């Protein structure tokens, strides 16, 4: 019995009002705002308490032609489950496409960084003065000449220009 009485008081305590008064100050109360407060300034009220006042139409206005009737605004219906599912699938696809694009960009950056590192290593090797072995056209092993080394070094410099 005490629990049911307590529950009754709890529901009454939740019946709170919130509105903006004439001075622009936000007011909170468990009582309804004064009648001078317009309905648009009432921010919160218990469910079912606030309703728009009924609009009275004089009989002579009701007999006016249909041209003077206001245009009815079509209320947006709540999305159906199919609409929500379609939106969800669209968002999932966009997310997957975005992640795939990011992964491809990361892979390209990584490959470019590895390529540039390999070019820098080759450049250091050519500048070190060590003899560099090459396989000649007849299949014999030989060493690069100074002219070949200069040509290869120029190619590496040209490719390194694209690296940061």
Model confidence pLDDT, tens digit, residues 14-28: 658 898 998 999 999
Q: What backbone phi and psi angles, to 5 degrees, belong to 29?
A: -160, 160
Residue 156 — pLDDT band, cuts 50, 70, 90?
A: very high
CA pair distance 85, 93, nearest whole angstrom: 12
pLDDT of 40 over the 80 cut: yes
Contact 107, 124 (CB under 8 A): no
The string of DSSP codes covering 17-79 is: EEEE-TTS-EEEESSPPPTTS-GGGEEE--TTT--PPPPP--HHHHTS-GGGSPPPPPPPPPP
CB distance 47 to 59 below 8 Å: no
Q: For residue 107, is pLDDT > 60?
A: yes
| pLDDT reported for residue 56 | 53
The pLDDT-based confidence of 146 (bands split at 50, 70, 90) is confident
- C-alpha angle with apex 41: 32 to 76, nearest 5 degrees? 110
Q: What is the pLDDT of residue 97?
A: 97
Cα 28 to Cα 71: distance, rounded to the nearest angstrom: 37
Residue 20, strand partner residues: 26
- Give the pLDDT of residue 70: 53
Place of tokens 């450049």: 123
């Amino acid at each position: 019995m005490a629990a049911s009485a307590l529950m009754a008081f709890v529901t009454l305590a939740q019946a709170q009002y919130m509105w903006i008064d004439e001075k622009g100050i936000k007011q909170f109360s468990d009582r309804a705002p004064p009648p001078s407060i317009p309905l648009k300034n009432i921010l919160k009220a218990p469910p079912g308490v606030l309703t728009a006042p009924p609009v009275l139409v004089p009989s002579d206005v009701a007999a006016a032609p249909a041209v003077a009737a206001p245009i009815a605004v079509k209320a947006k219906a709540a999305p159906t489950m199919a609409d929500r599912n379609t939106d969800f699938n669209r968002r999932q696809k966009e997310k997957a496409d975005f992640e795939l694009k990011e992964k491809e960009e990361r892979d390209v950056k990584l490959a470019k960084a590895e390529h540039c590192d390999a070019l820098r290593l080759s450049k250091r090797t050519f500048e070190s003065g060590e003899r560099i072995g090459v396989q000649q056209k007849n299949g014999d092993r030989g060493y690069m000449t100074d002219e070949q080394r200069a040509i290869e070094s120029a190619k590496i410099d040209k490719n390194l220009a694209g690296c940061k």
